[in-house]
Structure 1
Amino acid sequence: MLALAALTAVSGCGALGSDTSSAASTGSSLEKATLKVSILPTTDLGPFWLAQDSGYFQAEGLTVESVVAASGQASLAKAISGEADIAFSTYPPFFTARSSGAADMELVADATSVNPKSNAIVTVPNSPVKTIFDLAGRKIAITAKNTASDLLTRSVMQDHNVDYSKVKWVLIPLPNIAAALNQGDADAAYLPEPYVTQAAKTAGAIPVVDINTGATQDFPLTGYGATKTWVREHPKTLAAFQRAMQKATHEALIDRAKVEPLLVRFAKIDEDTAKLLTLPGYGSILDSRRLQRVPDLLLQLGAIPSPIDVNSMIAPQAGR
C-alpha cells in the first residue's frame, strides 16, 4: 500500500491515465520507436509484461522487444554493447560497472524490492545445511558474483555472524539450481521467485533464511538502466518507456490477477505456482534515498572501493 501511495503521489494522475493516450499521437517524434530491453525471466518482470500485453508501450508509440539474458551482469553487458537499449538487472551490477569504469550507467526505472518470502537462501532435505549457521564453508549456488544473489547472501550471513570468507560460490543459471541442489552440486542456493516455489515443488527445497530480514529487509532489488550516452540521446523515448511502466506497475500493484497469467506465459511457470508464489514489491519511480542502500552495502562488503552517490546515476523521471 505504501508503494502504491508513493507511486500515485509522485507520478500523478496523468502518468497513470489520460496522458498515455495523448503520447501516442507524438509517437512519431520519438528518437527511437523500437526498443530492445534485455530481461531475466523472473516475477520481477510482471509490470513489464503487463505493459507489453496491455498495449501501454504501443500507446506511447513504442515497439518493445525482449532479449533474454542469463544474469544481471549479462543483461547489463547487452546494453553496454548496444545489443539492447535498456537493461533489466538486479541493482549491484549497475553500481559495480560505474565503480570499475566498465560503463557509465544511469538508472531509468525501478522494478522491485525484496518482500517477505520473495527471495530466500534454500536447501534440500539431503543437504548437510540445516540452518543458516551451517552455511560457512559450504557450496552455495548463485547466478554470478557481485550480483544480488551473492551480496544479499553475504549480508544475511554477516547479520547472523556466519563467516562467508570460505564459501565455495557455485555459478549456476537460475533454471538449473534446483537440479544442482538435488544432485549435490550445491549445498544451498540463493533463489528469487518463482524459483523458490518451483524448487520446493520439484526438489523439496526449504528456506534456510528469508532475505527480507535485518540489513536486507525491503531491500531495493531490481531496476532498469541504460548507458548515459543512450539516455542523453533518447529523452523522449525514455520518457515514453517510463510512462508505460508507471501505468503497468500501478495496475500490477492493485490487481495481482492481471500478473499471474503473464507469469505463466512469459516466465514459463505453471498456473499453480503462479497462484502460490510470493510477488516482489513492485515499483517504477526511482527514490534516491531508498536506492542509496545498494552502493552502501556494496561498499561495506568490499564489492566497490569507494562511495557512490545514487543521485549521480538517476536519469530524468517522467512525471517529475
Structure 2
Amino acid sequence: MAALVSTSVGGCGLLGGDDSSSSSGSGNLEKAKIKVSVMSTIDVAPFRLAQDGGYFKAEGLEVEAVEAATGQISLTNLIGGMVDIAYSSYTPFFTAVSKGTADIKLVADASSAGPKSTMLVTLPTSSVKSVNDLAGKKIGITAPNTVSDTLSKSVMKDHGVDFSKVQWVPLPLPNVAGALKNGDIDAGFLTEPFITQAAKAAGTVPVVDTATGATQDFPTAGYGGIGKFVAENPKTVAAFQRAMQKATRDSADRSKIEPLLVKYAKIDQDTAALTTLLTLQSTLDARRIQRVPDLLLQMGAIQTKIDVSGMIAAQSSN
C-alpha cells in the first residue's frame, strides 16, 4: 500500500519512525529480542501501535524496527539475516519462493486494498481521461514486481488495456505528483495518504481505482520469516502474532491511527483525517492470500504455482 520520506513501496501508505518497545522479557520465549524490517506504510500502523502502546512489551518481546525503503529491500534484510521478521507486500515474498530464493513462512497479515485506497492518478490537463487511455503511456510505479505493479497491470487487464506497451517508470511515491507536473509521466500509482496529498498539492484526479475487478479487496502486504526461524521460535512468533492481533483490532478506532500518521508520517491532522485507510488485517487466511500467487501466475510474474497453505505459519489465537 510508501513513504513521505524517501520510500517506494510494496505495501501502501506511510508511517516511519524508530521507536522500539522495551521489555525485560517474559523468560518463556526462545528469543525475547527480535528485529523486524518495516516500511513507512499506512498498514504498519498496528505495528507502530504495538510499539507505542506496549503490546509487544506485554508479550515479553523487545522489538527493534529496521526501516526499509521497499518490499524487496525488506525481503533482502530477511534473507540476509539482518532481521527476524520482515514486512513487505506479498509480491516479493511469492517471487522469492517461486525462484527458490528463500523458504518464506508468512507470520501475520497486514492489509487488503480497500476502495479508493490505491489509485492511478493524473492531472486534469492530461490526455489520460480513463483507464482505456493508458495504453502506450508512461506510468509511475514504485518498482517492478511490487504491489503497485501488480494492481496497476491487473486493473488495466480487466479493461482490455495492453500493459505490455506501457513504459513503467520507477518512482518513490512522494515524487509522483512532481513527476506528473513536470511531464515525466502521464499517470502514476499512489496510495493513501499520497492520494490526498497529491490532490491538495498538485490537483491530481483519479484515473481508476486499482482495488476493483480482479483486485477488489486484494491482499496487499504481510509479515514473513525464514522457515528455520519460525520452526525454532514458535513461542516468539506466537507472541508477535498476539501483539499484532490486539493492535490490529484496536486500529479499527481511527482516533488511535490518525495520531500515528501525524507523529511518524509528519503529515498534518487535516490530511490524516481525510486519508482513506486500507483494510487492516492480522490473522492469515490461506484461501484469501492464495489470490496473490494465482494472479501473479496468471499475469506471468511468476512461473510456478504456489500453494499458500504450506507457507503459513501456525496462527496464534488471542
Considering the TM-score relative to the shorter chain, is it more than 0.5?
A: yes
1:121-136 aligned at under 5 Å gives the runs 121-136=120-135
Structure 2 counterpart of 1:314, from 312, 315, 318: 312
Paired position in structure 1 for 2:4? none
Paired position in structure 1 for 2:6? none
Runs in 1 of length 4+ with deviation above 6 angstroms? none
Paired position in structure 2 for 1:217? 216
Matched, 1:165 2:157: no
Runs of at least 5 residues in structure 2 that lack an aligned partner in the other structure: 1-22
Deviations 1:158-212 (A, max 9, x none): 1001110111111112222222222122111111111111111122111100122
Counterpart residue type for residue 291 of structure 1: I
RMSD over aligned Cα, in angstroms? 1.5
Tell me by how many angstroms 1:25 deviates.
9.2
Cα pair 2:110 2:281 within 8 Å, conserved: yes
Residue 283 of structure 2: SS of its match in structure 1? coil
Cα pair 2:25 2:61 within 8 Å, conserved: no
Structure ranking higher in helix proportion: 1
Cα pair 1:103 1:227 within 8 Å, conserved: yes
1:8-19 aligned at under 5 Å gives the runs none
Paired position in structure 1 for 2:264? 266
Cα pair 2:89 2:147 within 8 Å, conserved: yes
Paired position in structure 1 for 2:192? 193
Counterpart residue type for residue 284 of structure 1: S
Cα pair 1:73 1:144 within 8 Å, conserved: no
Tell me by how many angstroms 1:119 deviates.
0.7
1:33-44 aligned at under 5 Å gives the runs 33-44=32-43
Paired position in structure 2 for 1:294? 292
Paired position in structure 2 for 1:4? none
Tell me by how many angstroms 1:220 deviates.
0.7
Distance in 2 separating the partners of 1:180 and 1:70: 19
Cα pair 2:90 2:292 within 8 Å, conserved: yes
Residue 239 of structure 1: SS of its match in structure 2? helix
Paired position in structure 2 for 1:208? 207
Matched, 1:62 2:61: yes
Corresponding residue pairs, total: 296
Matched, 1:182 2:181: yes
Cα pair 2:49 2:247 within 8 Å, conserved: yes
Tell me by how many angstroms 1:251 deviates.
0.8
Distance in 2 separating the partners of 1:82 and 1:269: 33
Runs of at least 5 residues in structure 1 that lack an aligned partner in the other structure: 1-23
Alignment TM-score, normalising by the size of structure 2: 0.90
Cα pair 1:137 1:166 within 8 Å, conserved: yes
Residue 27 of structure 2: SS of its match in structure 1? helix
Residue 257 of structure 1: SS of its match in structure 2? helix
Cα pair 1:115 1:279 within 8 Å, conserved: yes
Cα pair 1:38 1:84 within 8 Å, conserved: yes
Larger deviation, residues 148-157 vs 81-90 = 81-90
Cα pair 1:127 1:184 within 8 Å, conserved: no
Counterpart residue type for residue 283 of structure 2: I
Paired position in structure 1 for 2:26? 27
Cα pair 1:38 1:69 within 8 Å, conserved: yes
Deviations 1:205-249 (A, max 9, x none): 111001221101111111111111221122111111100000001
Cα pair 1:157 1:164 within 8 Å, conserved: yes
Alignment TM-score, normalising by the size of structure 1: 0.89
Distance in 2 separating the partners of 1:94 and 1:202: 34
Tell me by how many angstroms 1:308 deviates.
0.5
Distance in 1 separating the partners of 2:234 and 2:77: 20
Paired position in structure 1 for 2:136? 137
Cα pair 1:118 1:280 within 8 Å, conserved: yes
Paired position in structure 2 for 1:256? 254
